[in-house]
Structure 1
Amino acid sequence: MAPHSETSSRYYEEVASYYDDDARDFEQRYEVNPVLQRIRGAFREITERQPFTQALEIGCGPGFDVEYFAARYPDRQVSAIDVSPGMIELAKKRCDAAGLSNVHFGVGSVEDIPAQFPDTCFDLIFVYFGGLNTVFDLRKAAEDLRRVCTPDARLVLTFVNRYYLTEIPLWLLMRRFDKAFERITNRWRGYSDHRKIPSRPYSAGDIRRAFGPDFELGYHRGFSLLYPAWYRSHLLPKLGGTAEKLWRLDNLLAKTPLWNTGEYSLYEMRMKNP
């Protein structure tokens, strides 16, 4: 595997630093956010439709999902990698506390997978909450993933969308013109106004161009088209029963051409035949 270039190394150092800081209270913030919990449950449900014996989670954070899958499938192997050493430390503690012996961890980006898990190929790779939005080169990341996949591998990948249509009028009403259009103009650098992270939102076309040469794109679904995004979970009490209606409406819109206009999009993929 070729080493990172100096530019990409600096890039990933900045990403790792951001998430090391984020690790300090990440778990506590998740535990009080019902939107994140509900969307994560939907991601897991879709992922569990895929058969696997050797799974890899990219961007595992503090280990919520590696713990879930390792505990639920104790006869299978679950590996996880994250660019943040702080997040990996949390994930290891979580899995150690659960007494799990079928988990394996590595620190690094997508390019580092072969070095972190030598002589291992995966039949399931999953990424939740846009972990690949922070890779240096998405097309190269797709090529790197192909190299560590078994011929029958399945991928379940989620991305932060470039076109989040319901957010534009909300930001305009708040007179935040910079926030309204930053995704479309490729100026989006994460959710915080106080600290930016190297990242890029992606459209469905971006995903097809990056992954299409190596993978067949199958089922897809959008999330938080009308249902509040995770950072607007404070709206749920105000919405009351309307929130549940918005969730069901999202499920319907996910079957229309508007599916890719929410906060996240999920894609199922499989290796193309050589």
Structure 2
Amino acid sequence: MPYHQPETYYAEVASYYDDDARDFEQRYEENPVLKKVRTSFRKEADKYPFRNALEIGCGPGFDVCYFAGRNPGSTVYALDVSPEMIRLTQENARSRGLENIRTGTGSVEDVPRLFPDQKFDLVYVFFGGLNTVFDLEAAAREIASFCTDDAVLVLTFVNRFYITEIPLWLAKGRFDKAFERVFKKWRGYSDLRKIPSRVLSHGDIKRAFGPHFSITSKRGYSIFYPAWYRSHLLPRLGSFSEKLWKLDRLVSRTPLWNIGEYSLYVMKPRASS
């Protein structure tokens, strides 16, 4: 269904993730692909020291707790539209004895209200949290408004053009799944319930963030290495899966770098932002 107001849109996103919160935690604990990709995302963000970091779309707080634990002298702010995800983040922070975490329930547009006058020198988004914003260009402007001049963004997106996935769906006779990203009909991973969201091309991301940020590096994920929802293939692939992971790294240096499941961007503010 079309969403004409951000409030209605985000209410549906929040409802989806409220219902999915516990399963989300379980997938992380059990899925080896999610763990491997998350570790790589973290290694990229670990390169950048920070005093005040913001995670947009924090989920149950796995990464918030990770960065807060590694940086006890800094503060990590956690944002999610789902009240249940924020509750789990708070629960996970308490269980680890972490006191340098601040949480807020809302969308990226709510950051100035939730964390008044706060500026961030690291903003990160793992596993495509910005694919569910109402307006990507407005979100990019908002992020620029609360970044410090020397801030770093580590952002990941679900790709529109996941080319190597197409033949896998066609082999199963799923024409609808094979081309739903290309035709912008993708609404999440579940066949049972759709989520307000959109897949994004490199052009979409440049148009939204280009006026405010310069891209300093980028990398593609699951170009040939299986996507997280195909982790059942890993036992069949055996050690060959590591070769596919390394192949993804090589392909990331070519124009085909963003034809996989995820793209990661590192960005820095332009002087005029």
- TM-score in terms of structure 2 length: 0.98
CA distance in 2 between partners of 1:69 and 1:58 (Å): 14
State the partner residue of 1:39: 37
> Among residues 92, 96, 106, which one is paired with 1:94 in the alignment?
92
**Residue number in structure 2 paired with 1:222:** 220
AA aligned to 2:109 is E
- Is the alpha carbon distance of 1:6 and 1:178 closer, same or farther for their aligned partners in structure 2, counting shifts above 3 Å? closer
Written as runs of structure 1 = structure 2, the 5 A alignment for 1:1-274 is 7-274=5-272
Unaligned runs of 5+ in 1: none
Letter in 2 for 1:149: C
Gaps of 5+ in 2: none
Give the secondary structure class of the aligned counterpart of 2:55.
Answer: strand
AA of the residue aligned to 1:146: A
SS in structure 2 of the partner of residue 216 of structure 1: strand
TM-fit CA distance, 1:81: 0.2
Q: How many residues align?
A: 270
Instruction: Name which of structure 1's ranges 6-15 and 39-48 shifts more when overlaid on structure 2.
Output: 6-15
User: What displacement does 1:52 show?
Assistant: 1.1
1:267 is displaced (CA, Å) by 0.2
Moved over 3 A (4+): none
Measured after TM superposition, the shift of residue 6 of structure 1 is: 6.8
Q: Secondary structure at the match of 1:260?
A: coil
* One-letter amino acid of the structure 2 residue matched with residue 92 of structure 1: Q
What is the percentage of aligned positions where both structures have the same residue? 63
User: What do the CA deviations read for 1:15-35 (whole angstroms, capped 9, x no partner)?
Assistant: 000000000222112111000
Distance in 1 separating the partners of 2:162 and 2:4: 33
The whole-number CA distance in structure 1 between the counterparts of 2:76 and 2:6 is: 27
Deviations 1:177-236 (A, max 9, x none): 000000010000000000000000001111000000000111000000000000000110
Q: Over residues 120-160 of structure 1, what are the superposed CA-to-partner deviations in whole Å (9 max), with x where a residue is unaligned?
A: 00000000000000000000000000111111111000000
Cα RMSD (Å) of the superposition? 0.9
- Output the CA distance in 1 between the equivalents of 2:229 and 2:198: 18
